[in-house]
Structure 1
Amino acid sequence: QPAPEEERMRESTRRKLCTLLEEGKLDDREVEIDVTESQSVGIPLLGGAGMDSMGINISDMLGGLLPKKTKRRRMKVAEARRLLRAEEAEKLVDMDAVIREALEKAAEEGIVFIDEIDKVAARGGSGGGPDVSREGVQRDLLPIVEGSPVPTKYGTLNTDHILFITAGAFSSVKPSDLVPELQGRFPIRVELQPLKREDLARILVEPENSLLRQYTALLGTEGVELSFDDGAVQEIALLAERMNGEMENIGARRLHTMIEQLLEEISFEAPESGARSCPIGAEFVRERLAPLISDSDIRRYLL
């Protein structure tokens, strides 16, 4: 048994180290800890419907039966605390209960959004036979949309009460080109209106990571301070609306090409020009973009 004096000194040293640890003064020190390694069990299985998820589940089950392996690693105290905290938190969570509740919530409150649904619609009036590949994808979607048990990595999910939403441009096909059974699964149809100048202007300034903020931050790394006034934003939106009306309407994607064209010269000269301020106004936008928009030969090669 250690002497009382030795025990007090050890406890005092321990409290001092705990204080330094909590204050983050030891974060840059290196320590060695035993880290639990995840077990990956590779089991070759024959292919087939549902076999992928079956292989994953078997691998998970066997991985839980095998003893956990630990590996001694050397790392900084800050990283060691993060790993140890994650390991201890994982021990406190009942993953079976979490998965069970997640499956219940997904089945009762889930929303599935299927974009580009027009890409699987067979083009009518082509004079050929049925498009087997596109129609096959649609028929594979039918039981899922109608409601059926779907095997997943975490168990079987019933899609009876899941809300399915699809979207598509339908520029070269019509919704009626989908198989009738799939059309019947989506009784509510909504047609969206093209983006107007006001919408495009809001897209330029309102999102947290809007295009204008991205380019301002990008050129800011080269010492160039960009600033767009309201007139410049409105002019960009007006020209984007005009191009969408005269060419293919690609919506807000048009803004990316226009901003790139607008700032092409500034971006090219930024590394050599050094720190400077570049205010962008409506007149500058018209000078840089109006000639490109009015020239029909050049416009054919712009998105």
Structure 2
Amino acid sequence: MFLFIISGIVFLDEVDKISSKKGGQFQRDVGGEGVQQSLLKMMEGAVIKVPDLSGSGKKTIDVDTTNILFIFSGAFSGLTNIIQRRTNIKPFGFTSETPEDKEGANATDTIHQSDTTDHEKDEILRAVEVDDLVNFGMIPEFIGRIPVFAVFENMTTEMLIKILKEPRNALIPQYETLLEMDGAKLKFEEEALVAVAEKAKESGTGARALRSRLENILLEPMYEAPNSDIEEIIITKDTVENKTPPVYVQRSKDLVVSTDKFVIKQTEPPSMKVMNPPQSQA
């Protein structure tokens, strides 16, 4: 028998999926409650038996979880409704608008209204208490072993734009590299980036929706670019919102004004040296 004393961090995502109540109905979910019960012993710090996967799987290893930090996360969809019923917090507070105000609002006002609504939801979640999580479906024994609760704010449009451009494995640099392999340069207008972020934000799935939005936008350019004379691809706001074709800048010797989606750019061909053929010896 081997006893492994381990120190580290265990992160478990989507813990809200093991709640014991589904859809707000007071019906016991034996599966979800059973999973919570099985986690209690390792959360409080004890020696548990873990299957030894290096062998046949029949042997077990004793692991001490006293020095392991457990972090749980989840979306907890519907938790705001439970908190509102307890605190009587209105979802929109003093920022609620009448139908007449909504009719006269422009696109910029709509964007700020969306950000304000997300901010108000964040404020509601900051008032969460243990009883709210119990009403959501987490058993008291499980919640009692979690000493600290933290609320992550909803991502704003500016955050989504940074995710598109700044990380080391950001999406836009990836697509730029792919199109450079075909000899084309990809360019996003700033208004187009804002539109992509807004579209992804409307889906409610966070940054996961950015890739699907970019795939739909760049599907045609990635098909047109290989083995073509396209030098640059410009993604505009209309391309994102109205699904209009992007602007293609094409290599050509002469300048041609096109009425279609192609814009021909004048480029001077490189000078070529003509070599004299070798003279035959007499």
Structure 2 length as normaliser, TM-score?
A: 0.56
* RMSD between aligned residues: 2.7
Q: 1:269 to 1:140 in 2, by over 3 A?
A: same
Measure how far apart 1:123 and its partner are.
2.3
Q: Say if 1:115 and 1:167, in contact at 8 Å, map to a contact too.
A: yes
CA deviation after TM superposition for structure 1 residue 140, in Å: 0.7
Secondary structure of 1:227's counterpart equals strand
Residue equivalent to 1:236: 196
The answer to whether the Cα contact below 8 Å between 2:20 and 2:31 also exists between their aligned partners in 1 is no
The Cα shift of 1:274 comes to 4.8
Among 170, 189, 212, the residue aligned to 1:210: 170
Instruction: Tell me, yes or no, if the aligned pair for 1:222 and 1:275 is still in contact at 8 Å.
Output: no
Q: Does 1:115 align with 2:73?
A: no
Q: Residue 287 of structure 1 aligns with which residue? A: 238
Q: Which residue identity lines up with residue 155 of structure 2 in the other structure?
A: L
> Aligned with 2:175: secondary structure?
helix
> Which AA in structure 1 matches 2:222?
S
| Gaps in structure 2 of 5+ consecutive residues | 55-60, 80-131, 244-282
The CA distance in 1 between the partners of 2:32 and 2:71, in whole Å, is 19
Q: How far apart are the structure 2 equivalents of 1:273 and 1:122?
A: 58
Q: Give SS of 1:161's match.
A: strand
Work out the CA distance in 2 between the residues paired with 1:275 and 1:215: 15
Deviation track 1:62-87 (CA, whole Å, cap 9, x = no partner) reads xxxxxxxxxxxxxxxxxxxxxxxxxx
Q: Matched residues in 1 for 2:73 and 2:64: separation?
A: 23
Contact 1:228 1:279 in 2 (8 A): yes
Amino acid at match of 1:134: G
- Distance in 2 between the 1:216 and 1:172 partners? 39
What fraction of aligned residue pairs are identical, expressed as a percent? Answer: 36
Please give the secondary structure, in 2, of the residue aligned with 1:195.
Answer: coil
Distance 1:145 1:216 in 2: 45
Match of 2:181 among 218, 221, 237: 221
The answer on whether the counterparts of 1:112 and 1:163 sit within 8 Å (CA) in structure 2 is yes
Structure 2 residue corresponding to 1:136, chosen from 31, 34, 38: 34
Q: Residues of 2 paired with 1:260 and 1:220: CA distance?
A: 17
How far apart are 1:186 and its partner, in Å?
0.9
Which deviations, in whole Å up to 9, do the C-alpha atoms of 1:69-114 show, x marking residues without a partner? xxxxxxxxxxxxxxxxxxxxxxxxxxxxxxx9xx55x33xx11111
TM-superposed CA distance for 1:275, in Å, is 5.1
User: Residue type of the partner of 1:287?
Assistant: D
Q: For the residues of structure 1 that align with 2:40 and 2:190, how far apart are their CA atoms?
A: 49
Instruction: Kindly indicate whether the alpha-carbon contact (under 8 Å) linking 2:14 and 2:73 is maintained by their aligned counterparts in 1.
Output: yes
Q: 1:207 to 1:234 in 2, by over 3 A?
A: same
Q: Which SS does the other structure have where 2:159 is aligned?
A: helix
After TM superposition, give the deviation of residue 146 of structure 1 in Å: 0.9
1:109-258 to 2 correspondences below 5 Å: 110-124=8-22, 125-126=24-25, 128=27, 130-152=28-50, 153=52, 155-172=61-78, 175-176=133-134, 177-241=137-201, 243-244=202-203, 249-258=204-213
What is the TM-score when the length of structure 1 is the normalising length?
0.53
Q: Which amino acid aligns with 2:11?
A: F
Contact persistence 1:144–1:150 (CA under 8 A): yes
Counterparts of 2:146 and 2:193 in 1: how far apart (Å)? 39
Question: Which structure carries more helix by proportion?
Answer: 1
**Displacement, 1:196?**
0.3
- Aligned mates of 1:137, 1:233 — CA distance in 2: 42
| Alpha-carbon shift at residue 231 of structure 1 (Å) | 4.4
Q: Which amino acid aligns with 1:117?
A: V
Size of the alignment, in residue pairs?
180
